[in-house]
Structure 1
Amino acid sequence: MKLKRYAAPAVIALTAALALSACASNEGGAPASTGDADTPALSGTLTGIGASSQGSAQEAWIAAFQTANPDVTINYDPQGSGAGRESFISGAAAFAGSDSALSDDELAGEFGSCAPDTKAIDLPVYISPIAVVFNIEGVDELNLDAVTLANIFNGSITTWNDPAIVALNPDATLPSGAITAVHRSDDSGTTKNFTDYLGKVAPEAWTEKAADTFPFQSGEGAQGTSGVIQAVTNGVNTIGYADASKAGDLGVAKIKVGDEFVEYTAEGAAAVVEGSPLVEGREANDIAIALDRETTDPTHYPLVLVSYAIVCQEYADAAQAELVKAYIGYIASPDGQAVAAESAGAAPLSSALSDQVAAAIETIK
Structure 2
Amino acid sequence: MLNFIALPKRKLFLGPLLALTLGLASCGAPTPTTNGGGGGTTPQATGGRVSLVGAGASFPAPLYQRWFSDYNRNVNPNVQITYQSVGSGAGIEQFTQGITDFGASDTAMTDEQIAAVPRGVVLLPMTAGSIVLAFNLPGVEQLNLSRETYAGIFLGDITRWNDPAIAADNPGVTLPDLAITAVTRSDGSGTTGVFTQHLDAISPKWKERVGSGLSVSWPAGIASRGNEGVTATITQTEGTIGYVEFSFAKSLGIPFATLENKAGNFVAATPENASASLAAVELPENLRAFIFDPDGENSYPIVTYTWVLAFATETDPAKLEAFRSVMTWALENGQDIAADLGYIPLPPEVVEKVKAALATLE
The one-letter code matched in structure 2 to 1:288 is R
CA distance in 2, matches of 1:174, 1:69: 53
Aligned ranges 1:1-365 → 2 under 5 Å: 40-41=46-47, 43-67=49-73, 68-111=75-118, 114=119, 119-207=120-208, 208-247=210-249, 248-257=252-261, 258-278=263-283, 284=285, 286-295=286-295, 297-331=296-330, 333-342=331-340, 344-365=341-362
Q: How far apart, in 1, do the equivalents of 2:39 and 2:338 lie?
A: 12
Secondary structure at 1:251 match in 2: coil
Q: Tell me how far 1:204 sits from its aligned partner.
A: 3.5
Against the structure 1 CA distance between its residues 61 and 211, is the aligned structure 2 distance closer, same or farther, given a 3 Å change threshold? same
Query: How far apart in 1 are the matches of 2:265 and 2:234?
Result: 26
Change (3 A) 1:73 1:143: same
Residues 98, 133 of structure 1: alpha-carbon distance in 2 compared, 3 angstrom cutoff: same
- Unpaired runs of 5+ residues, structure 1, are 4-18
Q: CA deviation at 1:123?
A: 1.1
> Structure 2 counterpart of 1:124, which letter?
P
Taking structure 1 as reference, are residues 31 and 95 closer, same or farther at Cα in structure 2, changes over 3 Å only? farther
SS at match of 2:95: helix
% identical equivalent positions = 33
Q: What's the CA shift for 1:109?
A: 1.1
Paired residues of 1:276 and 1:292 also in contact (CA < 8 A): no
How far off is 1:41 after superposition? 4.0
Quick one: distance in 2 between partners of 1:139 and 1:203? 30
Report the CA distance between 1:250 and its aligned residue. Answer: 1.3
Q: How much has 1:44 moved relative to structure 2? A: 0.6
Q: Is the 8 A contact 1:134 1:253 kept in 2?
A: yes
Q: Secondary structure at the match of 1:204?
A: helix
Cα offsets for 1:25-73 (capped at 9, x unmatched): x56x5989878xxx83463100110111111101110111111111111
Contact 2:88 2:188 in 1 (8 A): yes
Structure 2: gaps spanning 5 or more residues: 4-30
Residue type of the alignment partner of 1:164: A
Kindly indicate whether the alpha-carbon contact (under 8 Å) linking 1:100 and 1:193 is maintained by their aligned counterparts in 2. Answer: yes
Task: Decide whether aligned partners of structure 1 residues 340 and 158 sit closer, same or farther in structure 2, where only a CA change above 3 A counts.
Answer: same
CA distance, structure 2, for counterparts of residue 127 and residue 2 of structure 1: 16
Quote the Cα distance in structure 2 between the aligned partners of 1:356 and 1:301.
Answer: 24
Aligned residues: 330
Deviation sequence 1:326-360 (CA, Å, 0-9, x none): 122222x2311112222x21111101111111111
Q: Could you state the TM-score of these two structures normalised by the residue count of structure 2?
A: 0.85
**What do residues 123-149 of structure 1 show as CA deviations (whole Å, max 9, x unaligned)?**
110101111100012211111112211
Q: How far 1:249 sits from its partner (Å)?
A: 1.5
**Is the 8 Å Cα contact of residues 154 and 206 (structure 1) preserved in structure 2?**
no
Distance 1:325 1:20, change over 3 A: farther
Q: Following TM superposition, by how much is the alpha carbon of 1:189 offset from its aligned partner in structure 2, in angstroms?
A: 0.3
Offset, 1:290: 2.5
Q: In the alignment, is the contact (CA less than 8 A) between 1:85 and 1:96 conserved in 2? A: yes
1:209-267: per-residue Cα shift (whole Å, max 9, x none)?
32111331410100101100010110011101111001022111000122321110122
The structural deviation recorded for 1:177 is: 1.1
CA RMSD of aligned residues (A): 2.5
Change beyond 3 A, Cα 1:278–1:31:
closer
